Amino acid sequence: MKPTHIEHIGIAVSNLEAAISFYENTFGLECYKIEEIADQKVRTAFFLVGQTKIELLESTDPEGPIGKFIEKKGEGIHHIAFAVENIEEKLIRAEKSGIKLIDSKPRKGAEGLDIAFLHPKSTSGVLIEICEHRK
Q: Where does this chain bind Zn ion (CB under 5 A)?
A: 10, 81, 129
CB of 11 to Zn ion, least distance (A): 10
The least distance separating Zn ion from the CB of residue 61, rounded to whole angstroms, comes to 18
Which one, 28 or 57, has the nearer CB to Zn ion? 57
Asked if 82 and 6 touch (Cβ cutoff 8 Å), the reply is yes
User: CB of 53: closest distance to Zn ion in angstroms?
Assistant: 9
Q: Is 7 or 20 the residue whose CB approaches Zn ion more closely? A: 7
Q: Quickly count: other Cβ atoms within 10 Å of residue 96's Cβ.
A: 8
Q: What is the 3-state secondary structure (H, E, C) of the chain?
A: CCCCEEEEEEEEECCHHHHHHHHHHHHCCCCCEEEEEHHHCEEEEEEEECCEEEEEEEECCCCCHHHHHHHHHCCEEEEEEEECCCHHHHHHHHHHCCCCECCCCCEECHHHEEEEEECHHHCCCCCEEEEEECC
Using the minimum distance from each CB to Zn ion, give the nearer residue, 35 or 85.
35
In angstroms, give the least distance from the CB of 55 to Zn ion.
Answer: 6
> Which of residues 18 and 77 has its CB atom nearest to Zn ion in the complex?
77
